[in-house]
Amino acid sequence: MSNSRFTRRGLLKTSAVGTAGLAMPMFFTSQANAFTNEPTGSTVTLGFNVPQSGPYADEGADELRAFQLAVEHLNGEGDGGMLSTFSSKTLDGTGILGKKVQFVTGDTQTKSDAARASAQSMIQKDGAVMISGGSSSGVAVAVQALCQEAGVIFMAGLTHSNDTTGKDKKANGFRHFFNAYMSAAALAPVLAQLYGTDRKVYSLTADYTWGWTQQESIKAATEAMGWTTINDVRTPLAATDFSSYIAPVLNSGADVLVLNHYGGNMVNSLTNAVQFGLRDKQVNGKNFEIVVPLYSELMAKGAGKNIAGIVGSQNWDWKLENEKGARYTGTNAFVQSFGAKYGFPPSQAAQTCYAQTLLYADAVNRGKSFNPCSVVEALEGFEFDGLGNGPTLYRKDDHQCFKDVVVVRGKENPENEFDLVEIVEVTPADKVTYAPDNPMFAGGDLGACNPGA
């Protein structure tokens, strides 16, 4: 005989109550925090992670200026900048979804571990719902992965490696800045036009992810038009004097030197190349030429007169609308806002950070939610205009922006310290667009968006 009080009805009751009891907290939790750092008050916090110390601190300072300006404009302060020229009209100066925008900042130090730590702190302690900024691809890739895990959106700053939206792409990450492939695709036809199709290239490449992808891209693009790469030498990122790498170029038979360097490396390698008379040299019956695929106004300033006549590419230039017309509307509005507040024109790093902040805010407004998955959905395949780069697409397949690329050349006689480059050509977006399965971007998977919580 059994004395058990278990009955079928009792078991069902108990199960029902138990299940409801277990589900209750989760139900309330998921309602309270549908996603990481869901803003519940009258404000929303954005996290700006830029190099505030280290060699790219000046670039980081310019990014931060642009972020501050963007926040002011979103909150209805100042002259509104590119809000009035942006093709999407959801931003009306009342913040994002009616919430006043506030921000916190982190110092990436241009070190992946430090950048991850500062981003993590902004997400966990300050409740940042979006992270943006940075001046290095290594940092961008690291922070993008962190944001994916944490369930917040990452709007990349200055990152040019193919890997950011290639093998290391993530669903929660978006890049407005152009990449190494686009630089090469934009430069190659201009180089052919300027220097001919029969050239021998010697390249010096910074030995890290950005340098490798830049070298691979420029090699493919220039060889496709007839140039030959006779040597590629990897240089340590910590190198300061490049004379011993430049010297072998003299007798290599090359008539073009490609410097796949950025920042201090670029300033020093270019300075050394000019000191060794490469710019005055004749090889194979042609003038020796130097190409710097990725330009930066701040680095051009650092290189001084050595930049004169050197061809490279940029994501944007503050003279674009004046020189190339209304297609680049938004440029002048941003330059006026930035110039009035800070007294000098913005850099391309500043423009990309400003645009990313507006794009994020607009995506939230359009999706009517701060939920990262809603933002992802709003940004994927989004076509826009009026942010200074001309018509632009945020491609769904890889979260890369496709827009025109600016080919520039160092001015021989700059009129002032802001006017260091001249625009040679603007290569249309369709000439720099590649298939999502391009081998240079292979190996990655966006995965699914992660709302966190």
Partner 1 sequence: MDAIILQTLNGLDKGSAYALIALGLTLIFGTLGVVNFAHGALFMLGAFCAVTVSKLFQLSHKASEATGVDFMGQPKFEDVLYVKEWFGNDLGAWLIDWSVPLSILFAIPIMIGIGFIMERGLIKHFYKRPHADQILVTFGLAIVLQEVVKYFYGANPIPTPSPMAFRGSFDFGVMLGFDPNVIIYPYWRMVYFAFSLTLVGGVFAFLQFTTFGMVVRAGMADRETVGLLGINIDKRFTIMFGIAAAVAGLAGVMYTPINSPNYHMGMDFLVLSFVVVVVGGMGSLPGAVLAGFMLGILESFASLNEVKDIIPGIDQIIIYVVAIIILLTRPRGLMGRKGVMEE
Interface with partner 1 by CB under 8 A: which residues? 53-58, 231, 233, 236, 238, 240-241, 243-245, 247-248, 250-251, 264, 267-268, 271-272, 275-277, 280-282, 298-299, 301-306, 318, 335-336, 339-340, 344-345, 416, 418-419
In the complex, least distance from residue 351 CB atom to partner 1, rounded to whole angstroms: 14
Distance CA 340, CA 106 (A): 26
- Shortest approach of partner 1 to residue 26 CB, angstroms? 49
CB contact at 8 A, 210 and 180:
yes
Return d(Cα 69, Cα 175) in angstroms, integer: 20
Helices first, then strands: H and E counts in the chain = 14, 17
**What is the Cβ-side half-sphere exposure of residue 383, based on CA atoms within 13 angstroms?**
2
* CB of 256 or CB of 432, closer to partner 1: 256
CA separation for the pair 101, 71 (Å, rounded): 6
Among residues 55 and 444, whose Cβ is nearest to partner 1? 55
Q: Closest CB to partner 1 among 35 and 56?
A: 56
Q: Which is nearer to partner 1, 30 or 244 (CB)?
A: 244
Comparison of 341 and 396: residue with beta carbon closer to partner 1: 341
Looking at the Cβ atoms of 269 and 392, the one nearer to partner 1 is: 269
CB of 320 to partner 1, least distance (A): 12
Residues 6+ apart with CB under 8 A from 450: 148, 149, 150, 151, 171, 172, 372
Spatial distance between the Cα atoms of 256 and 290, rounded to a whole number of angstroms: 6
Q: What is the nearest approach in angstroms of partner 1 to the Cβ of residue 150?
A: 29
DSSP symbols for 311-369 = EEEES--TTHHHHH-GGGTTHHHHHHHHHHHHSSPPPHHHHHHHHHHHHHHHHHHHHTS
Q: Residue 251 or residue 413: which is nearer to partner 1 going by CB? A: 251
For the bound state, the minimum distance from the C-beta of residue 277 to partner 1, rounded and expressed in Å, comes to 4
Give which of 391, 387, 298, 393 is closest to 351, Cα–Cα: 387
Residue 417 CB, nearest approach to partner 1 (Å): 10
Burial class (CB in 10 A: 0-12, 13-18, 19+), 141: buried
Q: How many CA within 13 A on the CB side of residue 401?
A: 30
Nearer to partner 1, 299 or 353 (CB): 299
Closest C-alpha among 253, 243, 265, 234 to residue 55: 265
- Residue 297 C-beta: closest distance to partner 1, Å: 10
Our CB check for partner 1 shows the closer of 38 and 58 to be 58
Task: Provide the pairing of β-strand 382-384 with 392-394.
Answer: antiparallel
77 phi and psi, to 5 degrees?
-100, 165
The token pair that represents 268 in the structure block: 């020093």
Q: How far apart are the first and last CA of the chain?
A: 51
Nearer CB in complex with partner 1: 127/345: 345
| Smallest separation (angstroms) from partner 1 to the CB of 203 | 12
Cβ of residue 416: shortest distance to partner 1, in angstroms?
8
Minimum separation from the CB atom of position 205 to partner 1 (A): 13
Least distance to partner 1 from the beta carbon of 262, Å? Answer: 13
What are the structure tokens assigned to 110, written together? 């241009």
Shortest Cβ 284–partner 1 spacing (Å): 12
- Could you give the CA distance from residue 51 to residue 354 in angstroms, rounded to a whole number? 16
Q: Which is nearer to partner 1, 235 or 357 (CB)?
A: 235
Q: Which is nearer to partner 1, 281 or 396 (CB)?
A: 281
Specify burial of residue 410 (Cβ count, 10 A radius: 0-12, 13-18, 19+). buried
